Structure 1
């Protein structure tokens, strides 16, 4: 099954609606990360913990793509709070002017994923752009496994650039930290 503009609907949700979409987010995560479930960091339980933490922040939003009523992918993000730990995990610290947050400066894109039947259709980009549309933040940041060179290169075509590496959790992989200015 492939998506088309006439059959794929993008729906935006806020944190008050998380309970309604949590099963969809968790199910898609489990499908996309099925091959990595032997690593405790990628377990469903750890994902649910991260999701709860991310969604507890003011300004959290998700965009879910539905193709003929079937969930095909999603992305979610929230603004980094003033006292965020996001930048403290950088392997090489950033200058203070790059890492200073006020709760409205930087949107953190925590997850973006598309189920395999819809990969390569442009759906991830549509979801991404819908999530960013109308956001008040100056910039958006995301983490990507640098061994996933195709994904990293895709983000670069979307306007992101690498600002260094970080390990956000003691048991997580080292991720490339990417940044993009918002209009």
Structure 2
């Protein structure tokens, strides 16, 4: 890995995140047009339209990394609610202790993307660290395509473990569902 230049990471909560949406959409469109994703204009539009809904979710956080004036990547996520559909579409039944959600249990890393010229320099690690810093949740989760090998390796290196596979949308891709404990359970807390 090439040494990284420390990125300036800006963290946005729900109220100020809209000011970063154009940058996030541009990075998303660039990164997810590449293999193995090969997304197109309709996918990019769907992502852009989902941003305000995501920003309204509990615990929403968006981080954008810049080196100088250039945006190099972003990550965003939010907490899962008790009625989440996150675990719907599991290809094999997942245990209830995995799928049960309550406020403060799970923060979902929805997207983490670094532009190609800036990869393998540690920016994904910086983005992830800033995204999850100081969260008051028990665990983290994310979905990753099995064929996204570099992302998969990074998540495993950061302590995520595969708990099953999920196909969130009919005719959509299959993802590995991964979990990572964030804080030890306190006595009496489920």
Both structures adopt the same fold (TM-score exceeding 0.5): yes
CA contact (8 A) 1:105 1:139 kept: yes
CA contact (8 A) 2:58 2:80 kept: no
CA distance in 1: counterparts of 2:60 and 2:33, whole angstroms: 26
CA distance in 1: counterparts of 2:44 and 2:151, whole angstroms: 22
CA distance in 1: counterparts of 2:16 and 2:40, whole angstroms: 30
Whether 2:39 is the aligned partner of 1:37: answer yes
Gaps of 5+ in 2: 184-190
Shift of 1:3: 4.5
Structure holding more helix per residue: 1
Correspondence for 1:67? 67
CA distance in 2: counterparts of 1:170 and 1:97, whole angstroms: 25
CA contact (8 A) 1:87 1:93 kept: no
- Residue 15 of structure 2 aligns to a residue whose secondary structure is helix
CA contact (8 A) 2:139 2:182 kept: yes
What are the superposed Cα offsets for residues 16-40 of structure 1, whole Å, 9 maximum, x if unpaired? 1122011011011111122423485
TM-score (norm 1): 0.91
Greater Cα offset, 57-66 or 144-153: 144-153
Correspondence for 2:17? 18
Root mean square deviation, CA, Å:
1.6
